[in-house]
Amino acid sequence: MLTPRKLPAQARSAATVEALRCAAVQVLTGEGLDRCTTTRIAERAGTSVGSLYQYYPNRDALLSEVLERRLDATACAVEGACLAHRGGSAVEMARALAAAFLSMKLSEPEKSKALYTVAQELGAVAMIDRLRTRVIAAVEIMLVSASDARFDDPAGVATVAFGAMAGTVRILLEGQSPAQLETRLENELALLLTAYFRAQQAKC
């Protein structure tokens, strides 16, 4: 069971739950997954293990929720961008995609990095896949609506586009990200996607 045991009914509970989520990220970031124990999380959150289990059936449920919220935020950001640029040109789409994705992933890079580790925990795979599928679907729909482009296999293109962005970001997060990278990367990814989208047209 990886879902919250109950919904926080009171303000007190909500605060505790939020503190737990927050503490989980901190411990994860600061000490690594190995040392991210329930006791340590509770301590950092200013509560006790007992309280943790009041709201989550087990450790992984908490970690999963933290991960899911983060992925969901990314998904929402990208979906928002997709929605906003329906009917736009391929170039606009490329730019919007890169901007939305990076703004999520590169704010709080430590958090992003720490969660890569959690993501590997068994059980999370399915959830990640679900979120990813959702994002890719949104991208696909946007692509289909492009005012200046037609895509043979929009689902495939969306997948590759998303994968390309995710892979590049991952390298930068896992390596020692040079400082002023953010702006350059955004342009570079926009360029990559634009070129890719255009190349798809030539194919037709």
Binder of residue 127, out of DNA, its own copies, none (CB less than 5 to 8 A by kind):
none
Instruction: Report yes or no: 183 and 153 within 8 Å, Cβ to Cβ.
Output: no
127: number of Cβ within 10 Å: 17
Binder of residue 160, out of its own copies, DNA, none (CB less than 5 to 8 A by kind):
its own copies
Q: Which two tokens mark 122?
A: 């068994």
Binders of DNA among residues 24 to 43 (CB under 7 A) are 34-39
Place of tokens 């990367």: 185
Give CA–CA dist 26/156, Å, rounded.
Answer: 37
146 touches its own copies (CB under 8 A): no
Instruction: Report yes or no: 63 and 31 within 8 Å, Cβ to Cβ.
Output: no
The 3-state DSSP class for residue 168 equals: helix
60 touches DNA (CB under 7 A): yes
Binder of residue 49, out of DNA, its own copies, none (CB less than 5 to 8 A by kind):
DNA
Q: Which two tokens mark 112?
A: 């992003």
Give the one residue of 19, 99, 131, 160 binding its own copies; rule: CB under 8 A.
Answer: 160
Chain residues binding its own copies by CB under 8 A are 32-34, 116-117, 120, 122, 125, 128-129, 132-133, 156, 159-160, 162-172, 174-176, 184, 188-189, 191-192, 194-196, 198-200, 203
